[in-house]
Amino acid sequence: MDVPKKFQEATSSDAFKIGSLEVDRKYPIIHAERIVTESGPAVLLSIKGSPYNIVKVLMPKCYSSVISGKNMKSINSQKVSLNLIYKEMCEKSKSCHLAIEGHRKN
């Protein structure tokens, strides 16, 4: 990654709760990393909130276990182009329903 891009990411990154994302909007995933929280291991995704704003979202545990180290390498090396899509908040369980869609780049 080049220095201007790193600088831009460092100055325009905000943390968001998954539930505050727009429903059915496609957010391009630009980076994925494993972190450790008070609740244990988790996955933190950096997504494009707008052309000039990078947003970080903490994935719910049920989704974090699905993203493997190999998946993260593909995301971070830009071998795949993926979008995070917030579908809804389940009223009964208060859990977030998410989707990831995309394709492998040539």
pLDDT digits (tens, 9 = 90+) for 29-87: 999 999 888 888 889 999 998 888 888 998 888 888 888 889 899 999 988 889 999 88
Return d(Cα 106, Cα 104) in angstroms, integer.
7
Whole-structure pTM value: 0.77
Tens of pLDDT, residues 55-70: 899 888 888 888 888 9
Q: Domain limits of the chain?
A: 3-104
Three-point CA angle 57, 17, 80, nearest 5°:
25
